[in-house]
Amino acid sequence: MDWLEGKVVLVTGGTGSFGGEFIEMVLKEHRPSAVRVFSRDEVKQLEMSWRLSDSRLRFLIGDVRDKERLHRAMKGVDIAVHAAALKQVPMAEYNPIEAVKTNIIGAANVVDTAIDNDVGKVVFISTDKAVHPVNLYGATKLVAEKLFIQANAYAGREKTRFSCVRYGNVMGSRGSVISLFGEARKNGVIRITDERMTRFWISLRQVARFVIECMGKMIGGEIFVPKIPSMRLVDIASMIAPEAQWEVIGVRPGEKLHEILITREEAPRTKEFETHYVIEPQHPFWNPAHVEGGAPVPEEFEYRSDTNPWWLSREDMAAYLATLQPES
């Protein structure tokens, strides 16, 4: 059965990289009655309407900071995906209050308006930057994760349930390192912060499909983490611009050598499945008997990009890069 059939789906930040891929997949592979695109940029909404040309699309101009507008957008919604965020690390460091307003207050507004409108399921799109954060962006995403998990207790007897999906760097998204390396190639010089640096990698299509799968499985309170490969940034740089010179500039403020998706502290609450992990919440509302399958991870387990057993091969990366279209 198609559990999205006949449902009204709302996506905050719907015109972003993830939102565009997710919405297109939902429309092509499922049968929702409507998909509401909630975002601030009317030009991107217009471009999406031309590109997808689907009568089930509804375009709503709005900002997650605006609780009144968000409340109106949530009316009649069955499933909501919260992807709106200020995500560029340097911009968040320079404009900290703005990042807090969007990433934390905006998340709180999504929680409140979803509960008030009896939305069934709400999924928050998180990031590895939220784990042991060293920059403001990661800190705001960590707080938003906490808000969403605890929102299940906050909802009380209401039907609304909240879960999170946490993953690593998305290949080809706007502002990603692939885009930056592509631009640097034109100048013949690529700036590398540290040759040891590693990252988790996942494609937009994989992210969209994983989120849809998690929405179907969620009970409320989980953090879903996909099993994804790692790759060294220098390998990506050498593939995108093999003839460019490297300039090692050192790790920038708010940047890590390696990323973590699951900490040792979370290991006692983590179960491993074939394609993903599930981090269970530490709250009275959670009943682990509701979860089928999965095996506990080792006590000292930690999911890090540098110790990850799965590494993306140069051949796989080359095949993916060949599918990327130049960004407009």
Helix (H) or strand (E) holding 163, with range, is strand 161-167
Tell me which DSSP letter residue 6 carries: T
**Which entry of 7, 87, 121, 129 is annotated as an active-site residue?**
129
Q: Residue 34 and residue 284: Cα distance in Å, rounded?
A: 35
271 in active site: no
3-state DSSP of 277-315: EEECCCCCCCCHHHCCCCEECCCCCCEECCCCCCECCHH
Tell me which DSSP letter residue 185 carries: H
Tell me how far CA of residue 245 lies from CA of 235, 314, 317, in angstroms: 14, 20, 21
**Angle (nearest 5°) at CA 231 between 163 and 21:** 45
Q: Which residues contact 161 (CB under 8 A, 6 or more apart)?
A: 120, 121, 122, 152, 155, 218, 219, 220, 221
In angstroms, how far is the first alpha carbon of the chain from the final one? 38
What is the phi-psi region of residue 156: left when phi exceeds 0, alpha when psi lies from -120 to 50, beta otherwise? left
Question: Which positions are catalytic?
Answer: 129
